[in-house]
Amino acid sequence: MEQGEMKHNGHLAFMRSPLLFLLMALLALLLLYPFFAGRVMAHALWDICSSAILLLGIYAISHVRRHLVIAVVLAIAVLGTKWSGYVIDNERLLLVNYGLGVIFFAFTACLLLADVLRKGAVTADKIYGALCVYLIIGLTWGFMFLTLEGCQPGSFLFGQARLSGLEKDPATLVYFSFVTLSTVGYGDITPLSPPARSFAFMEAIIGQIYLAVLVARLVGLHIAYSMVADP
């Protein structure tokens, strides 16, 4: 009986807080993958974690049927091009996968952000959602950089040498994306082409605006609903 109750409670926890599980999947991809980079299973781990993020992202926005349908169609396209890469070795297929990933992650981030900024008390779910949006923005731009590098090889300088095509570790440009988003800018990867530079500075601006607007909105909501609760 206790084991059945534990399974039931675990299922209810997932139903109540899908954003927490989405956040955990995002962190797993970004924090665990580097420890497996260069190993045989690294590529599979990347695909498994990113697929989990897609599925959890769908569930997180599934409360609106129209959004759910669009997300499912996009996810099927992303997963189809991703996993078929194990059967069909084609760089164009990988490029299409990255492009579709940009669309899916951007769509998901916009919907989650709308939920986070919507009127209502500041709950744990709002905090989870805000963190998920920030991490998804970084992933979106990372996939955008991968797509750009695939379309225009040599758009980025990696260390002292140009690396052409999509043969490099995809996490490399995702890393560059988060460094740019947080405006750290270590300088180990440099955007060279005009589109790459434009996307890089746009991401840096969006990262700063997001944090400023998010903090202001959440603080405003917290003050407003605290005053209502304690007149």
Q: Which residues are paired to 156 by β-bridges?
A: 191
113-131 confidence digits (pLDDT tens): 998 888 777 788 888 999 9
The answer to whether 30 and 46 have CB atoms below 8 angstroms apart is no
Q: How far, in Å, CA of 192 to CA of 152, rounded?
A: 11
Beta bridge partners of 114: none
Antiparallel, parallel or unpaired: β 189-191 and 161-162: unpaired
Check residue 165 and give its pLDDT.
45
DSSP H/E element including 190: strand 189-191
Query: How many domains is the chain partitioned into structurally?
Result: 1
Domain that holds residue 178: 2-229
CA nearest to 49, candidates 70, 35, 68: 35
pLDDT, average across residues 34-56: 83
pLDDT of residue 217: 86
Q: What is the pTM of this model?
A: 0.85
143 closest CA partner among 230, 67, 19, 46 = 46
The more confident residue out of 57 and 226 is: 57
Q: What is the DSSP letter of 185?
A: -
